């Protein structure tokens, strides 16, 4: 087993943890989004509440959820560790102002990630905590009241911009980390990554905006 | 002193094989007890260090660079020769041998050169096995190109970076030995002196360039592979840090310097653009395959171009003098390096130069673009009267062949060489002279060996393109591993050499004094300025053409300059610190003495041969006049500050007939 | 001698000066009169000559070949390793890429694995250590088969060459916000692992070289791509992906 711990503590090993957990989170985002889009179904919250009930009580889903929390934490913790090590490795920053043409996001993944973590904590405190500690909460109503508050709406929209930036670099980066870089397929990966990192956060952002203006 | 070249008996083609099979060997258990110092980790030094490490010797390798990978060998562009005959065009060891002897104007040793040809093929095999990415053909086999002065395609290459790829190969082999503990690598250590104990070379004194510490290193023998001394001219195509110091220190300890005046001036370099320049850039010789060299016929045109009022393309065809084609109709633009260089100088001396300084000639690709363009148009069945199309297609062909060189030219000059002819001028490039060595590559000092460009051995008075890399690797991979045994087999009972004997202590002290003298000199003139002045003297009197009066004058001026240097040089900083100015000062001091010896050697050699052109010795039509009856010898100089002493090694030619080179 | 008029440029140079690794460094500002034909290093020579004439210590910087191949020169110019031009080393950069009157900031490579020696000079021995960990083919002199014994696909050889073009300058590390040496290491591994000669030891090579890279204190690659953008030999990020793959193979195969 030494080979495994060696691998997981090597630079490339840690990167693989980031990449795999990141890709898992990307998959989660999609599933979560599909569930959340039911909020937009015009049935007074029926279908969404059924879905939410299922999601919080089904044992299999529960199991997967705890896995998810763990992976978020793992992604965050390893991400911060990488950041700290890299900051030390770089040492002094340059005074000269120009730089090569690379995305701002790629250089600020840890900042973006931390903001996302903060978002997730607040977000879960708001919805998940109540769901798990209250009795028979009408989650649809809860969501609806939250999104009637413009401060929350703004907060969610901003958070989605942060998420978009994280994904803009993260998606393609995850593939590169796994060694999937090929001049033939790169343009496709890159295209899907960009599409994903715009469409998914945008779709998320529409939900609070929709609620705010329609309720 | 009797110079014994130790050439083995036997037929030319059998000497090396027979010698190898009979020479004394050192058993593996004894190799472990023998220490070898190698100074220099360019192609010659790195290949030697790696191979001797593999064989089991304890090797200590030194370089003043921060890593072996930065040695000047890295800069070689064109390629490396080998008599593989992969092209089936009639190449053979003998032909490579013959071309090298002839190209060297019959001033090199037959036996050494033939051995070089014999091992040339092994070099390619070795490099391929190391992973050197040589150019390949579509079938996956190795590709070759042809180079100046020969009629076969025997040059192996790796794009325009052959030297880099070969050096990386040797460096990797060396790195492997370092990781195995067989070679101890001393980066940023400059050899400051050679130490002899009981008449044998037993160690060196080094300066740690980071801390200034002066250290003694001992070994059973010392191998120098410290490169050429082209920078004695200040401006050359050599890397900035190339210098003569290591070999010069050996000379001061009694080693002989052979043929120091044989320097190669490369015809196609980018001209000097201003006084601030300290380094010249080579444009590959391959350009002469398609470029035509010319200057304006009329002086007023030349002046107009120099002053920027006209451009090359403004000069009518009839007003151009394609002087190489005119003077050497048989070879035209493809005459050997020395001939092409001298012709350019003549054209500029007559006032027809085209660079702002007056020193430059055109290398023009317009004809080639037109020719290739027409061929393309024809083969593709396009409109043959569309000149724009012809130029476009022709330019594409040229770009494919020389694109990277054209780009380099444009980066440096800011001019587009596709539309305006390039400007070029000769520049110092390589030094054929070096430490005198025998067949074993051992100098006249017992236990001191010299490899690569720093010895004089294989190129006579002129080196053919792509042979320096071959020689460096031959020496390091395939010659010294055997011949070092001739010395070391007698040393197996000698215990580790102490590095604190009186000899070492004395040498250390001398080095410290020398360094302190420079640091404390507190003059007013910079090292750079002295180096520049030295270069001007060398170029003026010992450059492309030389004459007795000039050489005498040059020698005198150098001596004056040397005195002035030690009187008035200013070296900033301290001795116990990273101090590039101090490094430079140490080297320039040695260049001054070496430069004087070059003048003396050039004066002694009252003939014109190869890179050495004496104005007094020319044929009726102005070509070089070699004087075989009097000068078929190697001039090996023993240093003496008042009057260096000449020792001659007569050269015997048993297998080739001495002929006058003619390119008309 | 004829001399055409050269465009004179007045440059303000802000240069990092630091006596040695232990001292504290800082910027010094100098005025230099240059012309547009000079290379950047020639402009630095002019500065140094004038400093020496003023009996001050010249700015220490590394250089040797001055034609873009030895990898010695190493300056961060206005924040960019080797300056603003792509595919260019510091020594190949010319003043015509700057404007008259411009202020230029010159700094050393920054990375913990490249400790500073003096002014703009840094120590890149960590690269040598990475090579010593496995950047070679284990073949002794004299053991080689004929050079044409193994044909190698031309395109493959060409890709290997693209990687082999690395000059070991360290601009990739200098450019990387993480101080990572992945591009260098990947270039070296790719060069050998792509060719049949290097295949035998491919997995161990990848593993050992990456492990050494980690030990030297370089950062981890986040696939930022600044290295590729600043690399004077334009080494591609594809080599990093390849290195990752080979590293996995070395971990998950064999014993
Ligand atoms: C621009 C250019 C292009 C060339 N192109 C070709 C070509 O295409 N084909 C060809 O065959 N030849 C070519 N040559 C010539 C060829 O590159 C050199 O002759 C050859 O590489 C010399 O190798 P070397 O090992 O003898 O010395 P170098 O590579 O010069 O190495 C010298 C070594 O000695 C060390 N050293 C020197 N002095 C000391 C000291 N005092 N203390 C410690 N270390 C010291 C240096 O650090 C270095 O490691 C070219 C030369 C130039 C200038
Ligand atoms: C739903 C939320 C998230 C998703 C979808 C996501 C996705 C990704 C992806 C795909 C990558 C690229 C991995 C790679 O380069 O191989 C990545 C990198 C990164 N993430 Fe996240 N992430 C999320 C949340 C977070 C959080 C909460 C943090 C930390 C606090 C974080 C910190 C980082 C960091 C620092 C990196 C860069 C790692 C590196 O240097 O390579 N991310 N993320
Ligand atoms: C605006 C859009 C969003 C809405 C309306 C929303 C809504 C909800 C609701 C109602 C819950 C609790 C129900 C449940 O446990 O399934 C929940 C849980 C959660 N949300 Fe969201 N969410 C949104 C965006 C996001 C985003 C962008 C992320 C990630 C970055 C995220 C991460 C989570 C997580 C991790 C949980 C806990 C999941 C679980 O327990 O399975 N959500 N969300
Ligand atoms: S990869 Fe590029 S930037 Fe990095 S060391 Fe090699 S040549 Fe320099
Ligand atoms: S910039 Fe750095 S993060 Fe990776 S892709 Fe290049 S090494
Ligand atoms: S000085 Fe050699 S690459 Fe710049």
Encoded tokens for C126: 């960590």
Considering only A76-90, A189-203, B222-236, B279-293, which range has the smallest mean pLDDT? B279-293
Q: What is the 3-state secondary structure (H, E, C) of chain C?
A: CCCCCCCEEEEEEEEEECCCCCCCCEEEEEEEEEECCCEHHHHHHHHHHHHHHCCCCCCCCCCCCCCCCCCCCCCEECCEECCCCCCCCHHHCEHHHCCCCCEEEEECCCCCCCCEEECCEECCHHHHHHHHCCCCCCCCCCCCCCCCCCCCCHHHHHHHHHHHCCCCCCHHHHHCCCCECHHHHHHHHHHHHHCHHHHCCHHHHHHHHHHHHHHCCCECCCCCCHHHHHCCCCCCCHHHHHHHHHHHHHHHCCC
Encoded tokens for B195: 């130490």
* Centroid of ligand 5 to alpha carbon of A92 (angstroms): 17
Q: Are B194 and B250 in contact (CB under 8 A)?
A: yes
| pLDDT (average), residues B37-45 | 98
Rounded CA-CA distance B458/B97 in Å is 10
Rounded CA-CA distance B119/B108 in Å is 17
* Closest CA in chain B for residue C54: B524
* SS3 assignment, position A54: helix
Say yes or no to pLDDT of B179 above 60. Answer: yes
Say yes or no to pLDDT of C3 above 50. Answer: no
Question: Burial letters for A73-103: b for 16+ Cβ neighbours within 10 Å, e otherwise?
Answer: eebbebbeebbebbbebbbeebebeebbebe
The pLDDT, as a whole number, for residue B149 is 67
| Alpha-carbon distances of C74 from A103, C88, C114, C116, C175, rounded to whole Å | 24, 11, 11, 12, 11
The pLDDT, as a whole number, for residue C2 is 39
Rounded CA-CA distance C231/C125 in Å is 19
Longest Cα separation, chain C: 73
Q: Are B206 and B553 in contact (CB under 8 A)?
A: no
Rounded CA-CA distance B273/B235 in Å is 12
Pocket test for ligand 3, best of A74, A127, A164 (most atoms within 8 A of CB): A127
Q: Which of C14, C179, C245 is opposite residue A90, by nearest beta carbon?
A: C179
Confidence of residue B285 (pLDDT cuts 50, 70, 90): confident
C152 touches chain B (CB under 8 A): yes
Answer yes or no: do C49 and B159 touch at CB < 8 A: no
Q: Whose CA is nearest to atom 31 of ligand 2?
A: A113
The pLDDT, as a whole number, for residue B146 is 81
Ligand located closest to C171 CA: 4
Encoded tokens for B332: 């035209």
User: What is the average pLDDT score of chain B?
Assistant: 95
Encoded tokens for C121: 């000079």
Q: Are B587 and B244 in contact (CB under 8 A)?
A: yes
User: What residues in B contact C64, CB-CB < 8 Å?
Assistant: 65, 70, 72, 239-241
Say yes or no to pLDDT of C202 above 80. Answer: yes
Confidence of residue B500 (pLDDT cuts 50, 70, 90): very high
Encoded tokens for B13: 């083609």
Say yes or no to pLDDT of A78 above 60. Answer: yes
| Alpha-carbon distances of C100 from B40, C9, C48, rounded to whole Å | 42, 5, 20
| Alpha-carbon distances of B310 from B184, B313, B316, rounded to whole Å | 59, 8, 12
C248 touches chain A (CB under 8 A): yes
Rounded CA-CA distance B201/B437 in Å is 14
Name the minimum distance, in Å, from the CA of C139 to any CA of chain A: 28
When scoring C219, C234, C237, C243 by the number of chain A Cβ atoms within 10 A, the one with the most, hence best to mutate, is C219
Instruction: Annotate B89-151 with DSSP letters as a single string.
Output: SS--HHHHHHHHHHHTTS-S-HHHHHHHHHHHHHHHHHHHHHT----B-TTSSBP-B--TT-S
DSSP bridge pairs for B423: B362
Q: Which residues, at least 6 apart from B165, have a Cβ–Cβ distance to it below 8 Å?
A: B132, B133, B134, B158, C161, C164
Say yes or no to pLDDT of A31 above 90. Answer: yes
Answer yes or no: do B173 and C135 touch at CB < 8 A: no
Tell me the pLDDT tens digit for each residue of C46-69.
999 999 999 999 999 999 999 999
Answer yes or no: do A12 and C177 touch at CB < 8 A: no
Answer yes or no: do A12 and C219 touch at CB < 8 A: no
User: What residues in C contact A94, CB-CB < 8 Å?
Assistant: 76, 79, 105, 107, 110
Tell me the pLDDT tens digit for each residue of B557-609.
999 999 999 999 999 999 999 999 999 999 999 999 999 999 999 999 999 99
Helix-helix angle C125-132:B162-179, to 10 degrees: 70
Look-up: residue for tokens 């790169």? A186
The number of residues making up chain C comes to: 255
| pLDDT (average), residues B533-545 | 96
* SS3 assignment, position A85: helix
Beta-carbon count within 10 A of C204 CB = 14
DSSP bridge pairs for B427: B266
Answer yes or no: do A94 and C175 touch at CB < 8 A: no
Encoded tokens for A146: 């939250």
Pocket test for ligand 3, best of A21, A25, A32, A45 (most atoms within 8 A of CB): A32
The pLDDT, as a whole number, for residue B323 is 96
Higher pLDDT residue, A98 or C16?
A: C16
Rounded CA-CA distance B123/B103 in Å is 21
The pLDDT, as a whole number, for residue C255 is 47
Rounded CA-CA distance B570/C109 in Å is 30
Instruction: Annotate B6-25 with DSSP letters as a single string.
Output: -PPSS-TTTHHHHHHHHS--
Beta-carbon count within 10 A of B307 CB = 13
Q: Which of C63, C96, C127 is opposite residue B67, by nearest beta carbon?
A: C127
Tell me A128's DSSP state. I
Say yes or no to pLDDT of A12 above 90. Answer: yes
* SS3 assignment, position B266: strand
Q: Is B627 left (phi over 0), alpha (psi -120 to 50) or beta?
A: beta
Confidence of residue C24 (pLDDT cuts 50, 70, 90): very high
Confidence of residue C4 (pLDDT cuts 50, 70, 90): very low
Q: Whose CA is nearest to atom 30 of ligand 1?
A: B227
The long-range contacts involving B342-350, CB below 8 angstroms and separated by at least 24 positions, are B342/B544, B342/B545, B342/B613, B344/B267, B344/B293, B344/B424, B344/B425, B344/B426, B345/B426, B345/B544, B345/B545, B347/B295, B347/B321, B347/B323, B348/B295, B348/B425
Residue A210 φ/ψ, nearest 5 degrees: -60, -45
The answer for B 85-124 residues in CB contact with C (under 8 A) is 86, 121-122, 124
Q: Which of A96, A173, A180 is opposite residue C78, by nearest beta carbon?
A: A96
- H or E, element range at B423: strand B422-431
| pLDDT (average), residues C162-179 | 97
Confidence of residue C254 (pLDDT cuts 50, 70, 90): low
Higher pLDDT residue, C194 or C252?
A: C194
| pLDDT (average), residues A12-41 | 94
Query: Comparing C-alpha atoms, which of B240, B237, B235, B200 is closest to residue B220?
Result: B200
User: What residues in C contact A7, CB-CB < 8 Å?
Assistant: 251
DSSP bridge pairs for B387: none
Q: Which residues, at least 6 apart from B248, have a Cβ–Cβ distance to it below 8 Å?
A: B257, B590, B593, B594
Name the minimum distance, in Å, from the CA of C81 to any CA of chain A: 9
The pLDDT, as a whole number, for residue B1 is 77
Higher pLDDT residue, B411 or A113?
A: A113
Rounded CA-CA distance B43/B71 in Å is 8
Say yes or no to pLDDT of C1 above 60. Answer: no
Look-up: residue for tokens 């190697």? B634
Tell me the pLDDT tens digit for each residue of B48-101.
999 999 999 999 999 999 999 999 999 998 899 999 999 999 999 999 999 999
Q: Do chains C and B touch (3 or more CB pairs under 8 A)?
A: yes
The pLDDT, as a whole number, for residue B159 is 86
* Closest CA in chain B for residue C133: B179
The pLDDT, as a whole number, for residue C68 is 95
Q: Which of C14, C79, C111 is opposite residue A89, by nearest beta carbon?
A: C111
> CA-CA-CA-CA torsion for A59, A62, A67, A68, nearest 10 degrees?
150
* Closest CA in chain A for residue C103: A96
Rounded CA-CA distance B133/C157 in Å is 6
Rounded CA-CA distance B22/B159 in Å is 41
Q: Which atom of ligand 5 is nearest to the CA of A102?
A: 1
* SS3 assignment, position A182: coil
Q: Which atom of ligand 6 is nearest to the CA of C92?
A: 4
Q: In chain B, what percentage of residues exceed pLDDT 90?
A: 89
The pLDDT, as a whole number, for residue B372 is 94
ipTM > 0.90 (yes/no): yes
């Amino acid at each position: 087993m030494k080979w495994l711990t060696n691998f997981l503590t090597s630079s490339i090993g840690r990167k693989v943890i980031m990449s795999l957990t990141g890709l898992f989170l990307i998959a989660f985002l999609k599933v979560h989004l599909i569930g959340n889009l039911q909020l937009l179904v015009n049935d007074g919250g029926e279908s969404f509440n059924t879905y939410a009930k299922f999601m919080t009580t089904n044992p299999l889903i529960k199991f997967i959820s705890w896995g998810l929390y763990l992976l978020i934490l793992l992604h965050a913790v390893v991400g911060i560790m990488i950041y700290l090590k890299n900051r030390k490795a770089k040492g002094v920053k340059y005074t000269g102002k120009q730089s090569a043409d690379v995305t701002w996001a790629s250089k600020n993944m840890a900042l973006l990630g931390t903001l996302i973590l903060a978002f997730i904590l607040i977000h879960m405190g708001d919805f998940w905590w109540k769901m798990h500690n209250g009795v028979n909460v009408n989650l649809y109503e809860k969501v609806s009241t939250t999104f009637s508050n413009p401060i929350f709406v703004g907060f969610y929209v901003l958070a989605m911009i942060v998420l978009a930036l994280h994904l803009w670099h993260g998606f393609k980066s995850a593939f590169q980390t796994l060694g999937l870089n090929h001049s033939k397929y790169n343009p496709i990966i890159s295209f899907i990554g960009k599409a994903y990192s715009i469409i998914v956060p945008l779709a998320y952002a529409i939900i609070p905006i929709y609620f705010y203006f329609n309720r | 002193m009797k110079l014994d070249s130790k050439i083995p008996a036997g037929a030319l083609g059998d000497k090396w094989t027979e010698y190898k099979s009979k020479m004394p060997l050192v058993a593996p258990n004894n190799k472990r007890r023998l220490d070898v110092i190698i100074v220099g980790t360019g192609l010659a030094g790195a290949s030697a260090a790696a191979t001797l490490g593999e064989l089991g010797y304890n090797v200590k390798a030194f370089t003043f660079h921060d890593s072996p990978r930065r040695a000047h060998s890295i800069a070689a562009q064109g390629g490396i020769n080998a008599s593989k005959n992969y092209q089936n065009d009639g190449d053979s060891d003998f032909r490579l041998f013959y071309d090298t002897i002839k190209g060297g104007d019959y001033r090199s040793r037959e036996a050494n050169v033939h051995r070089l040809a014999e091992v040339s093929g092994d070099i390619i095999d070795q490099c391929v096995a190391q992973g050197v990415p040589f150019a390949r053909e579509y079938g996956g086999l190795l590709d070759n190109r042809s180079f100046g002065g020969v009629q076969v395609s025997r040059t192996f290459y790796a794009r325009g970076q052959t030297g880099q790829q070969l050096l990386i190969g040797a460096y990797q082999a060396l790195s492997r030995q370092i990781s195995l503990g067989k070679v101890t690598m001393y980066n940023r250590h400059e050899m400051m002196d050679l130490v002899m104990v009981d008449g044998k070379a037993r160690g060196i004194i080094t300066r740690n360039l980071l801390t200034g510490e002066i250290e003694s290193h001992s070994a059973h023998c010392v191998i120098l592979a410290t490169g050429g001394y082209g920078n004695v001219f200040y401006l050359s195509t050599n890397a900035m840090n190339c210098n003569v110091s290591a070999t010069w220190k050996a000379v001061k300890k009694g080693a002989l310097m052979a043929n120091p005046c044989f320097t190669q001036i490369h015809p196609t370099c980018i001209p000097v653009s201003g006084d601030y320049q300290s380094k010249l850039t080579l444009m590959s010789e391959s350009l002469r395959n398609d470029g035509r060299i010319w200057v304006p016929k009329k002086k007023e045109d030349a002046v107009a171009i120099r002053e920027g009022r006209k451009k090359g393309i403004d000069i009518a065809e009839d007003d151009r003098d394609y002087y190489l084609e005119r003077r050497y109709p048989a070879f035209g633009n493809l005459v050997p390096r020395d001939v092409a260089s001298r012709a350019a100088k003549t054209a500029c001396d007559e006032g027809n130069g085209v660079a702002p300084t007056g020193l430059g000639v055109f290398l023009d690709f317009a004809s080639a673009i037109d020719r290739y363009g027409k061929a393309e148009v024809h083969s593709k069945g396009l409109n043959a009267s569309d000149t724009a199309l012809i130029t476009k297609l022709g330019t594409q062909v040229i770009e494919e062949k020389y694109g990277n060189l054209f780009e380099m030219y444009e980066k440096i000059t800011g001019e587009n060489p596709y539309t305006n002819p390039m400007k070029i001028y000769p520049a110092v490039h390589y030094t054929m002279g070096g430490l005198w060595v025998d067949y074993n590559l051992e100098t006249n000092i017992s236990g001191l060996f010299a490899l690569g460009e720093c010895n004089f051995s294989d190129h006579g008075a002129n080196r053919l393109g792509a042979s320096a890399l071959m020689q460096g690797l031959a020496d390091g991979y395939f010659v010294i591993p055997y011949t070092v045994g001739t010395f070391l087999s007698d040393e197996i009972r000698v215990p580790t050499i102490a590095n604190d004997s009186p000899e070492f202590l004395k040498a250390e002290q001398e080095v410290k004094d020398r360094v302190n003298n420079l640091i404390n000199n507190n003059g007013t003139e910079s090292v750079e300025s002295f180096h520049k002045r030295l270069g001007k003297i060398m170029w003026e009197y010992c450059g492309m053409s030389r004459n007795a009066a000039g050489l005498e004058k040059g020698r005198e001026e150098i001596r004056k300059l040397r005195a002035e240097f030690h009187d008035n040089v200013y070296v900033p900083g301290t001795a116990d610190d990273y101090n590039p100015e101090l490094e430079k000062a140490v080297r320039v001091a040695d260049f001054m003495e070496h430069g004087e010896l070059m003048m003396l050697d050039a004066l002694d050699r009252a003939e014109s041969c190869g890179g050495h052109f004496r104005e007094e010795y020319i044929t009726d039509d102005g070509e070089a006049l070699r004087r075989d009856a009097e000068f078929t010898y190697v001039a090996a100089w023993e240093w003496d500050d008042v009057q260096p002493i000449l020792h001659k090694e007569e050269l015997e030619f048993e297998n080739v007939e001495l002929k006058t080179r003619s390119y008309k | 001698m004829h001399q055409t008029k050269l465009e004179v440029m007045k440059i303000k140079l802000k240069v990092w000066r630091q006596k040695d690794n232990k001292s504290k460094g800082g910027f010094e500002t100098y005025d230099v009169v240059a012309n547009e034909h000079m290379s950047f290093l020639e402009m630095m020579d002019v500065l140094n000559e004038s400093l020496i004439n003023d009996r001050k210590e010249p700015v220490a910087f590394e250089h040797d070949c001055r034609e873009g191949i030895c990898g010695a020169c190493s300056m961060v110019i206005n924040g960019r390793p080797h300056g603003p031009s792509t595919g260019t080393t510091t020594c190949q950069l010319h003043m015509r890429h700057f404007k008259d009157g411009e202020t230029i900031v010159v700094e050393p490579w920054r990375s913990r694995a490249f400790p500073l020696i003096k002014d703009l000079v840094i120590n890149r021995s960590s690269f040598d250590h990475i090579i010593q960990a496995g950047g070679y083919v284990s073949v002794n002199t004299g053991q080689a088969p004929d050079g044409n014994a193994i044909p190698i696909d031309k395109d493959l050889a060409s890709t290997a060459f693209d990687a082999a073009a690395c000059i070991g300058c360290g601009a990739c590390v200098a450019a990387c916000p993480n101080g990572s040496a992945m591009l260098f290491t990947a270039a070296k591994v790719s060069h050998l692992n792509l060719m049949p000669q290097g295949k035998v030891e491919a997995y161990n090579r990848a593993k050992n070289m990456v492990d050494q890279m980690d030990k030297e204190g370089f950062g981890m690659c986040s696939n930022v791509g600044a290295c590729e953008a600043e690399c004077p030999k334009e080494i591609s990020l594809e080599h990093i992906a390849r290195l990752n793959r080979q590293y996995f193979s070395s971990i998950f195969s064999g014993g």
